[in-house]
């Protein structure tokens, strides 16, 4: 089935490029959502609209920790409504990691009940900042591409979704 919106004529294409150049000039060199790591931001210019960025690495090297860091950057620091699709971790586990990461307090301190007053305050402040930001965690087990896409479209229409992170792409079902 032919869909005209997939095709752009030369006049429209030039207009799109002019708009993009103007947007980049207005943003003073900032092209995407910051990754929060200066070296990566300098090289990649952040996460850009309509681009797919994949992170791949061996097991247990910190892919989830990095993706949560990116979520803090997008949802909390840059105030971009963000969807985090987690296929192997619960929302509660992810929130615990987010709070501790944002508070810069080791999780072991809470587990061992050895928090000092400053750490308790930092955790409270992290919880408040997270509660005031706009993000959603979807912990659906083995979702399909269509399910994720439908949820993202709904969030975009209702809440202005601007960034999607999918943790564990291999576990997504094609149908």
What pLDDT sits at residue 5? 66
State pLDDT tens for residues 129-139: 999 999 999 99
CB 81 within 8 A of CB 160: yes
What pLDDT sits at residue 100? 94
pTM above 0.85, yes or no: no
Which residue, 52, 30, 42, 76, is CA-closest to 165? Answer: 52
Name the residue with higher pLDDT: 118 or 16. Answer: 118
| Token pair listed for 120 | 């308790």
Distance, first Cα to last Cα, the chain: 20
**pLDDT band, residue 161 (cuts 50/70/90):** very high
Residue 84 scores a pLDDT above 50: yes
What pLDDT sits at residue 26? 67
**Helix 91-103 vs helix 117-131: crossing angle, to nearest 10:** 120
What is the rounded average pLDDT of the residues 27-32?
A: 67
What is the rounded average pLDDT of the residues 91-99?
A: 94
8-state DSSP, 139: -
What pLDDT sits at residue 37? 87
Task: Spell out a b/e string for 24-44, using b for 16 or more CB atoms within 10 Å of the CB, else e.
Answer: eeeeeeeebbbbbeeeebeee
Residue 3 scores a pLDDT above 60: no
H/E stretch holding 67 reads helix 63-71
H/E stretch holding 118 reads helix 117-131
- Residue 61's contacts (CB-CB under 8 Å, 6 or more residues apart) are none
Residue 28 scores a pLDDT above 70: no
State pLDDT tens for residues 40-57: 888 888 888 888 888 888
**pLDDT band, residue 78 (cuts 50/70/90):** very high
């Amino acid at each position: 089935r032919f869909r005209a919106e997939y095709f752009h004529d030369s006049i429209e294409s030039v207009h799109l490029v002019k708009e993009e150049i103007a947007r980049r000039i207005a943003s003073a060199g900032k092209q995407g959502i910051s990754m929060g790591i200066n070296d990566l931001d300098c090289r990649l210019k952040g996460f850009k609209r309509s681009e797919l960025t994949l992170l791949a690495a061996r097991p247990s090297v910190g892919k989830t920790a990095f993706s949560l860091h990116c979520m803090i950057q997008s949802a909390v620091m840059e105030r971009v409504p963000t969807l985090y699709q987690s296929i192997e971790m619960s929302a509660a586990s992810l929130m615990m990691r987010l709070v501790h990461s944002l508070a810069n307090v080791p999780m072991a301190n809470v587990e061992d009940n050895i928090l000092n007053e400053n750490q308790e305050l930092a955790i409270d402040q992290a919880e408040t900042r997270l509660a005031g930001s706009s993000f959603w965690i979807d912990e659906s087990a083995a979702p399909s591409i269509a399910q994720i896409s439908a949820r993202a479209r709904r969030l975009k229409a209702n809440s202005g979704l601007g960034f999607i992170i999918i943790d564990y792409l291999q576990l997504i079902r094609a149908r």
